[in-house]
Amino acid sequence: MEEEKAKSLNFIEEIINEDLKNGVYHKVHTRFPPEPNGYLHIGHAKSICLNFGLGKKYNGQTNLRFDDTNPVKEETEYVDSIMEDVRWLGFDWEDRLYYASDYFGQLYDYAVILIKKGTAYVCDMSAEEISETRGTPTRPGKESPFRNRTVEANLNLFARMKTGEFPDGSKVLRARIDMASPNMHMRDPVLYRILHANHHRTGDEWCIYPMYDFAHGQSDSIEGITHSICTLEFEVHRPLYDWFIREIGLYAPRQIEFARLNLSYTIMSKRKLLQMVRENFVNGWDDPRMPTICGLRRRGYTPESIRNFAETIGVAKRDNVIDMSLLEFCIREDLNKRSNRIMAVLNPVKVILDNYPEDQVEEMECINNPEDETKGKRKVPFSRELYIEREDFMEIPSKKFFRLSEGGEVRLKAGYIIKCNRVIKDPGTGEISEIHCTYDPLTKTGMPESNRKVKGTLHWVSAKHAVTAEVRLYDRLFIKENPDDTEEGKEFTAYLNPDSLKTVTAFIEPSAKELAPGEKLQFERLGYFCVDKDTIPGKMVFNRTVTLKDSWTKSEKK
RNA sequence: UGUCCGAUGGUGUAACUGGCAACACAACUGAUUCUGGAUCAGUAGAGUCUAGGUUCGACCCCUAGUCGGACAACCA
């Protein structure tokens, strides 16, 4: 069994196995290192599942570390949401919660080591000057006039940077590497900048903050990380990552890069998600149309489905765009097994059973989940006046229409077979207002006659017993793929789907009253829904998680 | 006119490290069903970016191209 699994290792596992075999490392210790500057999205979920999954698979450990080296972008709100989301996904960092800001003192000492070695210096150039003298990818940069300051001068200046003597932007600490390096990141990168800003954890203790490159590898090293897994854009940073470790003389983790997740019709940039929230294109980070973990959660996704999705998409180094239909498959697969069925009518038309006694009410027995016997049954009231879905009736049926039509028969789920006799239309609009039918008393579910073949089965709700509810029909937020391509300034407005959120008032069978926020169910033939957090007694609110298979694309094709 | 990385069906990921390209999603067909769902059975779809080379044999190794991505924040 173990050997069979060994056949389909991903490239990261191959590297790890190789390292373990060669004794480069003797254990596996990974970390998930988000910057607390926004909410986590499905792309982070891939990384979380990867890192924590590897930790578990190799009987190792995984840390949660906040990469909080830029106080102007980071907030406690984000820290809290990230911890909540990681936990919700089902992962546990146990007692290994860290912050890069925990290492500010240590990092400062590392910088001093470099200064003493002559491989770091204080530079007085402005950001613009540094940028100009860095050159371009194809042209080498120019050396800073401050590059050859003495160790003593650098030590003195760096200490004074720390004490707050200099204004923001007036000086930086840079590594002294190679201004002609073909790798831009090796052209005397900035290690520390002056930022008189309040940090969400260290407050005003520091006014100089390390850059990502100077903090990340060292943080990995301090924590004893063996495999530091990050996304592809950090590939060109790896020489620098290794350079700092070597130059300071630290234990060396191995950085491995993988391709980040792209989902069709979905924006996965934190910056743009933030913009969507700030400019009210959506109603917050947990808007169910958002690809954020909290959005998916509110939408009705389960942690299991997301973990399974991450597992299914795999991990590699080539750019990829995963089709939404795979994510949808994963959630349907999970919800199909776990969610109870319930009857709801979103777009009602009244059906009157002319031969059904005026005041009679029957309790029809319904199976809660045909996929799971243990979920039991429930009673649903049935009476003379019902609602069915308007689309489930067609006066003149087309050849492939299996549902109710004039003169035709259809089965009401868990009820009777009915036959349509006539329809009444609104004289003004011409719209059908009532469908008059007769029911066949011998065809009640369970009775011998009920086995009679009829072409279709409809879901229904008793008009006088139904509960009304607000149902939010979430669709994809974007109608075009790769909205990232749009020009600056209107990144995604052009692609926004005006129908991404439709709200209808639906009629639902009375058992809906018992549901609590967060509960997931399948509206018979309509899709998977969950009870929204906005639900309060007397006002039910449902979110559509996902439609049943294919109906989006089918309706698109029409 | 640079450095680094990548290239396998419509989409993703595999291929025992050189042995006749597999799995999942999507698509299609049929069976079944009191959900046009689910389930079950089946079909189609790539010869692995190109051109050379090594080899009995190449998705895998070598050479040269082509195409795509990343890199020029005091962001991460």
Residue A116's pLDDT is 98
pLDDT confidence bin for A489, thresholds 50/70/90 = low
Q: What is the pLDDT of residues A97-106, one digit of tens each?
A: 999 999 999 9
Confidence check: pLDDT of A296 > 60:
yes
| Nearest residue for B14, CA–C1' | A8
- Cβ–Cβ under 8 Å, residues A191 and A174: yes
CA of A319 to C1' of B57 (A): 32
Pairing of strands A501-508, A467-474: antiparallel
The alpha carbons of chain A give a radius of gyration, in whole angstroms, of: 31
- Cβ–Cβ under 8 Å, residues A418 and A385: no
Catalytic, out of A73, A134, A142, A260: A260
pLDDT confidence bin for A486, thresholds 50/70/90 = low
Helix (H, G, I), strand (E, B) or coil at A523: strand
CA of A325 to C1' of B46 (A): 21
How far apart, in whole angstroms, are the C-alpha atoms of residue A192 and residue A238? Answer: 19
At position A70, the amino acid (one-letter code) is: N
Q: What is the largest CA-CA distance in chain A?
A: 102
Q: Describe the strand order of the beta sheet including A340-342 as a list of residue ranges.
A: A340-342, A520-523, A527-531, A540-546, A467-474, A501-508, A344-345
- Cβ–Cβ under 8 Å, residues A440 and A449: yes
Residue A477's pLDDT is 94
Q: Which of A224, A255, A249, A216 is nearest to A100 (CA)?
A: A216
| Nearest residue for B26, CA–C1' | A325
Please name the nucleotide lying closest to A329, CA to C1': B25
Please name the nucleotide lying closest to A484, CA to C1': B69
Confidence check: pLDDT of A3 > 60:
no
Residue A491's pLDDT is 72
Q: What is the pLDDT of residues A364-404, one digit of tens each?
A: 999 999 999 999 999 999 999 999 999 999 998 888 888 99
Q: What is the pLDDT of residues A512-524, one digit of tens each?
A: 999 999 999 999 9
Active-site residue, A35 included = yes
Q: Which chain B positions come under 7 Å from a protein C-beta? A: 1-8, 10-17, 24-27, 34-39, 68-76
CA of A548 to C1' of B9 (A): 26
Please name the nucleotide lying closest to A412, CA to C1': B34
How far apart, in whole angstroms, are the C-alpha atoms of residue A301 and residue A528? Answer: 10
The answer, as to whether pTM is greater than 0.90, is yes
DSSP per-residue codes, A17-33? HHHHHTTS-SS-EEEE-
How far apart, in whole angstroms, are the C-alpha atoms of residue A75 and residue A381? Answer: 52
CA of A355 to C1' of B60 (A): 74
Active-site residue, A260 included = yes
CA of A545 to C1' of B76 (A): 32
Give me the residues paired with residue A527 across strands: A523
Catalytic, out of A174, A238, A270, A307: A270
> Around Cβ A59, how many Cβ atoms within 10 Å?
8
pLDDT confidence bin for A145, thresholds 50/70/90 = very high
Residue A556's pLDDT is 40
Average pLDDT over every residue of A195-217? 98
